[in-house]
């Protein structure tokens, strides 16, 4: 049983706890007894740090089935998205200045495209279908002779909608258009084979998959015409694409995170599916409850639901001590309906009532049952308070 005073965390799409094995490996490199040396140094301690980085790159590369030298370390998915989109667009701008993305992308993708529009690039913003999935025919129709970059998220951070990046990549590759994929919510959670997928640029982060905050990576495919201009300057590290002293402990942590994820991905998915199905089974009979996204093909770690006749902020408060989200963690302080859900066709009222429940490795049946009880009780209480709003 869960004690009522205890916090129950179901916001794993926002961030995850660091695996204890990862934390131990990370902290061992931060003290005088560890390999804390600057990897840019040429002395023996520096060379040891380089060896740690190379090993971690191999671990992450093995998870993604790619070569380690295809990976650029960053501070997280936001920086990776910016480097891929801004750097990719500027590198290929002589080819054309037309770009394509979706209205349901993360802010770390949306905002760089807004910047590029101000710089004279033209952006086509594709709308999803009502289930959140991109119609490939719409993408094909939007491609032009001067299109040079497409950015589509793999797993949507708010709804869990999974896009067919293989099919999208095939369409882009046939036209020699770069495809960037924000995979912050899928790396380490879903199988990704970069040797087989026609993806040119892929962003990822450690803290969504039981690693620390502050470390991410950008995959850059090894094929002609795939490159990015740097956003930062001041050193020769990482082929001058992302200069700066490499955080050895963070990188080692990401490497171990990737290795652990690779070994238990199948078990993780089975567990998430069980938690997801149990929760949905417990609330699906509530009058006016609606799933945002596609429950059959979506990522099982995320379930986003709206409820009719309920005000979202009141619902979130009524759910405490349940820790859940009303949308993207990066937009949680903005008191307005989710632009992602509005793009799916939800009304402002339904978008404001949306709650994102996201499950993780530590989620137990009793957590889910507590959440079911809390959600049902909150809905019933709020409807009693405002019965005139219920039709």
**pLDDT tens track for 304-322:** 999 999 988 889 999 999 9
Look at residue 218 and tell me whether its pLDDT is greater than 90.
Answer: yes
Whole-angstrom Cα distance, residue 29 to residue 26?
Answer: 6
Determine the 3-state secondary structure of 317 from DSSP. helix
Whole-angstrom Cα distance, residue 31 to residue 26?
Answer: 10
**Overall fold of domain 8-17+264-389:** 3.90.1150
**Ranges of each domain in the chain:** 8-17+264-389, 20-260
Please give the average per-residue pLDDT across 155-166, as a whole number: 98
The string of DSSP codes covering 30-99 is: SSTTS--S-TT--SHHHHHHHHHHHHHHHHHHHHHTS-GGGEEEESSHHHHHHHHHHHHHHHTTTT--EE
Percentage above 70 pLDDT, the chain: 95
Whole-angstrom Cα distance, residue 131 to residue 344?
Answer: 7
| Distance of alpha carbon 58 from the chain centroid | 22
pLDDT (tens digit, 9 = 90+) per residue, 96-126?
Answer: 999 999 999 999 999 999 999 999 999 999 9
The string of DSSP codes covering 148-174 is: EEEE--SB-TTT--B--HHHHHHHHHH
pLDDT band at 6 (very low <50, low <70, confident <90, very high): confident
pLDDT band at 337 (very low <50, low <70, confident <90, very high): confident
What pLDDT does 236 receive?
A: 85
Is the pTM value of this prediction over 0.85?
yes
Look at residue 387 and tell me whether its pLDDT is greater than 70.
Answer: no
Whole-angstrom Cα distance, residue 166 to residue 212?
Answer: 29
- The mean pLDDT value of the chain amounts to 94
Q: Token pair for residue 277? A: 């199905």
Q: Determine which one of 172, 294, 323, 330 is catalytic.
A: 330
**Spatial contact of 75 and 214, defined as CB atoms under 8 Å apart:** yes
pLDDT (tens digit, 9 = 90+) per residue, 177-196?
Answer: 999 999 999 999 999 999 99
Please give the average per-residue pLDDT across 359-374, as a whole number: 98
pLDDT band at 388 (very low <50, low <70, confident <90, very high): low
pLDDT band at 334 (very low <50, low <70, confident <90, very high): low
Please give the average per-residue pLDDT across 252-276, as a whole number: 98
CATH code that applies to domain 20-260: 3.40.640.10
Look at residue 288 and tell me whether its pLDDT is greater than 70.
Answer: yes
Assess whether 172 carries a catalytic annotation.
no
């Amino acid at each position: 049983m869960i004690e009522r005073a205890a916090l129950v965390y179901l916001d794993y799409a926002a961030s995850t706890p660091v695996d204890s094995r990862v934390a131990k490996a990370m902290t061992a490199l931060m003290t005088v007894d560890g390999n804390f040396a600057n990897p840019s140094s040429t002395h023996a301690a520096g060379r040891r740090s380089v060896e740690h980085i190379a090993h971690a790159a191999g671990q992450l590369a093995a998870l993604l089935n790619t070569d380690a030298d295809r990976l650029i370390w960053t501070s997280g998915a936001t920086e990776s998205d910016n480097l891929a989109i801004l750097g990719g667009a500027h590198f290929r701008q002589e080819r054309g200045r037309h770009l394509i993305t979706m209205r349901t992308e993360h802010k770390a993708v949306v905002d760089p495209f807004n910047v590029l529009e101000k710089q004279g690039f033209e952006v086509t913003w594709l709308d999803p279908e009502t289930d959140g999935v991109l119609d490939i025919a719409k993408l094909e129709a939007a491609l032009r002779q001067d299109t040079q970059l497409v950015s589509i998220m793999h797993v949507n951070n708010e709804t869990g909608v999974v896009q067919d990046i293989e099919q999208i990549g095939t369409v882009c590759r046939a036209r020699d258009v770069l495809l960037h994929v924000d995979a912050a919510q899928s790396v380490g959670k879903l199988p990704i084979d970069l040797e087989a997928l026609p993806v040119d640029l892929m962003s990822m982060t450690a803290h969504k998959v039981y690693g620390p905050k502050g470390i991410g990576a950008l995959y850059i495919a090894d094929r002609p015409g795939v490159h990015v201009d740097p956003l930062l300057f001041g050193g020769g590290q990482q082929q001058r694409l992302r200069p700066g002293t490499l955080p050895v402990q963070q990188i080692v942590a990401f490497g171990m995170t990737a290795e652990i994820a690779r070994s238990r991905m199948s078990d993780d998915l089975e567990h998430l599916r069980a938690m997801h199905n149990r929760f949905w089974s417990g609330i699906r009979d509530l009058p006016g409850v609606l799933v945002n996204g596609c429950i059959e093909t979506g990522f099982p770690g995320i379930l986003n639901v709206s409820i009719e006749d309920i005000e979202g902020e009141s619902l979130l408060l009524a759910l405490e001590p349940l820790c859940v989200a009303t949308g993207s963690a990066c937009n949680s302080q903005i008191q307005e309906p989710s632009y992602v859900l509005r793009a799916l066709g939800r009304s402002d009222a339904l978008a404001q009532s949306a709650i994102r429940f996201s499950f993780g490795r530590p989620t137990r049946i009793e957590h889910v049952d507590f959440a079911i009880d809390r959600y049902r009780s909150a809905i019933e209480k709020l409807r009693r308070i405002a019965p005139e709003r219920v039709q």
